[in-house]
Amino acid sequence: MSCDSEGYECLNELLSVFLDSEPMKKRTLVLDKPDPYIASSTLKKRMQNKLVIVKSSDDSQWSLSDDCGKLKLDIGSGKIVELIDGVNDALAGKCDFSVGATNGQNLWFW
């Protein structure tokens, strides 16, 4: 994942709203088309143009999947905090790290 500062700040605002929302709330974001060499190996290098974020009732939930050509992130409150921390690290200039899960279920910050 990479954004300019404004993009990271907007993402953090959205994630902060998700922290206070009820489970099953969702939002869809339009994505730039990723390079096929950095797309998720778990998702068979499919490149999605949209990200659907769905808040899970399970605080530790983190799941990336392909949902009709959209990247779907099911995420619980604990993992939202982890993602916010990752965005803050990226804003501070850190790069080449991931958050979330493993085995292709993680989001990398470049």
Dmax over CA atoms of the chain, in Å, equals 36
Name the DSSP letter for residue 1: -
34 has pLDDT over 70: no
The whole-chain average pLDDT of the chain stands at: 85
The Cα 56–Cα 78 span in angstroms is 10
pLDDT exceeds 80 at position 83 = yes
pLDDT at 41: 52
At 42 the pLDDT is 58
Between CA 74 and CA 26 the distance in angstroms is 9
CA nearest neighbour of 16 among 55, 70, 43: 55
Torsion of CA 90, 84, 11, 72, to 10 degrees: 110
Question: In angstroms, rounded to a whole number, what is the distance separating the alpha carbons of residues 91 and 7?
Answer: 10
Residue where the block lists tokens 């869809």: 28
Residue 110 to residue 107: CA distance in whole angstroms:
10
